[in-house]
Amino acid sequence: MNQFIHDKEFEPFVSESKIQERVKVLGAQITQDFQGKKLVLLGILKGSYMFLSDLCRAIELPLEISFLRISSYEGTQTTGEVKQVAGFHDDLSGKTVIIVEDIVDTGISMDYLLKEIKKYQPADVKIATFLYKPDAFRFKYSLDYVGFEIPNKFVVGYGLDYNDLGRNLPELYQLVNSQ
Span 23-42, contacts to Mg ion by CB under 5 A? none
Q: How many residues does the chain have?
A: 179
Check the CA dihedral 156-84-132-159 and report its sign: negative
**Cα dihedral angle (3, 110, 152, 138), rounded to 10 degrees?**
170
d(CA 160, CA 130): 10
Given 154, 167, 171, 176, the residue binding ligand HPA (CB under 6 A) = 154
Residue 144: φ, ψ to 5°: -80, -40
Q: Is position 146 an interface residue for ligand HPA (rule: CB under 6 A)?
A: no
Report the amino acid identity of residue 68.
L
The single-letter DSSP state of residue 38 is: -
Query: Among this protein's residues, is 164 annotated catalytic?
Result: no
Catalytic pick from 7, 105, 111, 164?
Answer: 105
Residue 59 or 158 with smaller CB distance to ligand HPA: 158
Q: Is position 10 an interface residue for Mg ion (rule: CB under 5 A)?
A: no
Residue 145 binds what, of Mg ion, ligand HPA, none (CB under 5 to 8 Å, by partner type)? none
Residue 33 or 161 with smaller CB distance to ligand HPA: 161
Binding positions for ligand HPA, rule: CB under 6 A: 73, 103, 105, 154-156, 160
Residues with a catalytic annotation lie at 105
Q: Where do contacts with Mg ion occur on this chain (CB under 5 A)?
A: 73, 161
